[in-house]
Amino acid sequence: MKKPTKGTILLSEPFMLDPNFKRSVVLLCEHGEEDGSVGFVINKPLEIKVNDLITDFPEIESHVYYGGPVATDTIHYIHNVGELLDDSMKVTRGIYWGGDFTKLKFLIDSKLILPHNIRFYVGYSGWSQGQLHEELAFKSWVSARMHPNYIFKSKPDHLWQQIMYNLGDTFSVIAQIPETQFLN
């Protein structure tokens, strides 16, 4: 079991029944032994665009994703333009979280941030101190290395399978298990 760190991907185990995390890929954006962990489900797009949720926001053709069950009245953003957006927090190579909201609006309005540079999330996934380690020990999650393409170029519907397959060995077999199981 790889120890989780900021920038780690968590894949839900294939038979997880929790509807919040079934076949989820979660990017850990914060992880601390004493403060807990924060992440975002990166493979669950919603049928809504960011302009439908935020008034007085520049036009951008960007869908919103379900980030997790915590604080679903909040919007977060992950992007690849940390050098342009002040106060962005680097998560891992090529991936940043948050940043100055006023400047974000300016950069979008100026077309310096385009839909392929940013993803918006409603809510987040959170774990209290020690909770994630317990869930990993219980094998609720499989950890993997993050790649920026997982957010910005991969198809969300196939991302869980893609990463499982990329892990090789037993995981490539697990990736082929159908999502819906029927008993004969």
- Looking up residue 45, the CATH number of its domain turns out to be 3.40.1740.10
pLDDT in tens, 121-149: 999 999 999 899 999 999 999 999 999 99
- When computed from its CA atoms, the radius of gyration of the chain, rounded to whole angstroms, is 17
Residue 83 tokens read as 């050098």
pLDDT at 175 over 70: yes
- Residue 25's closest CA among 158, 172, 178? 158
**CB crowding 73-99: b at 16 or more within 10 Å, else e:** eebbbbbbbbebbeebeebbebbbbbb
Please give the distance of CA 74 from its chain centroid, rounded to a whole number: 15
Average pLDDT, the chain: 91
What pLDDT does 180 receive?
66
Residue 182: inside a domain: no
140 burial via Cβ count (<10 Å: 0-12, 13-18, 19+): middle
Q: For residue 24, tell me if it sits in a domain.
A: yes
Instruction: Judge whether 179 lies within some domain.
Output: no
Percent of the chain with pLDDT over 70: 96
Q: What is the domain count for the chain?
A: 1
Beta-bridged to residue 37, according to DSSP, are 31, 127
Predicted pLDDT at 2: 65
**Residue 59 maps to a domain:** yes
> Domain limits at 80?
8-174
From the list 49, 103, 115, the residue with the least C-alpha distance to 79 is 115
Instruction: Please check the confidence at residue 182 and state whether its pLDDT lies above 70.
Output: no
